[in-house]
Homo-oligomer: A and B are copies of this chain.
Amino acid sequence: MADIAKMAGVSASTVSRALAGSHLVEKTQRDRIVKIARDGGYVINSTARNLRLQRSETISVIIPLGHASTQPLSDPFFVEMLGYLAEEITRRGYGMFVQKISPPMDDWMHRLIGSHRSDGIIVIGQSTEHSVIEAAAMSYRPLVVWGGHDREQSYCTVGTDNVAGARAGVQHLIRLGRRRIVFFGDPKLPEIHLRYEGYRRALKDEAGVGAAQIVPTHLTADAAYESMRAYISGGKTFDAVFAATDVIAISAIRALTGAGLNVPADVAVVGFDDIALAAHTNPALTSVRQDIRRGAEIMVDLLLRRIAGEDTPSATMAAELVVRESCGAARH
Within 8 A of B (CB), among A250-307: 250-251, 253-254, 257, 276-277, 279-284, 293
Contact B74 A276 (CB under 8 A): yes
Report the bound CA distance from A45 to B47 in whole Å. Answer: 12
Q: Which of A21-29, A111-119, A192-200, A236-244 contacts B (4 or more CB under 8 A)?
A: A111-119
Q: How far is the CA of A51 from the CA of B45 in the complex (A)?
A: 9
Given A82-B79, A83-B79, A276-B74, check contact A97 B58 (CB 8 Å): yes
Number of interface residues of A (CB under 8 A): 55
Copies of this chain in the oligomer = 2
Also in contact, A98 and B100, with CB within 8 A (given A50-B47, A116-B46) = no
Restricting to A37-81, which residues have a CB under 8 Å from any CB of B? 41-48, 50-51, 56, 58, 63, 72-74, 76, 78-80
Q: Chain B residues near A95 (CB, 8 Å)? A: 97-99, 117
- Give A198 Cβ to nearest chain B Cβ, in Å: 25
Alpha-carbon separation in the docked complex, A111 to B46 (Å):
11
Q: Which residue of B lies closest to A57 (CB)?
A: B117
Complex Cα distance, B114 from A43, in Å, reads 5
Q: Which single residue of chain B is at the shortest CB-CB distance from A53?
A: B47
Task: Report whether over half of chain A's contact residues are helix, strand or loop; otherwise say mixed.
Answer: helix
A100 in contact with B111 (CB, 8 Å):
no
Are A73 and B87 in contact, CB atoms less than 8 angstroms apart?
yes
Q: CB distance A251 to B280 under 8 Å?
A: yes
Closest B-chain residue to A54, C-beta based? B47
How far is the CB of A122 from the nearest CB of chain B, in Å? 13
Answer yes or no: A84 CB below 8 A from chain B CBs: yes
| CB atoms of A83 and B73 under 8 A apart | yes
Q: Can you name the residue of chain B whose Cβ is closest to the Cβ of A58?
A: B97
Contact indicator A221/B114 (Cβ below 8 Å): no
CA distance A84 to B115 in the complex (A): 24
Q: Is the CB of A257 within 8 A of B280?
A: no
- Is the beta-carbon distance between B72 and A87 smaller than 8 angstroms? yes
Q: Which residues of A contact B (CB under 8 A)?
A: 41-48, 50-51, 56, 58, 63, 72-74, 76, 78-80, 82-84, 86-87, 90, 95-100, 110-111, 113-117, 221, 225, 250-251, 253-254, 257, 276-277, 279-284, 293
> Could you list 7 A-B pairs, sorted by A, with CB under 8 Å?
A42-B114, A45-B116, A47-B51, A48-B51, A95-B98, A96-B99, A281-B282
Extra pairs beyond A73-B84, A250-B280 (13, CB < 8 Å): A43-B113, A47-B117, A51-B51, A72-B84, A73-B80, A73-B82, A73-B86, A86-B99, A87-B100, A95-B117, A221-B279, A221-B280, A280-B281
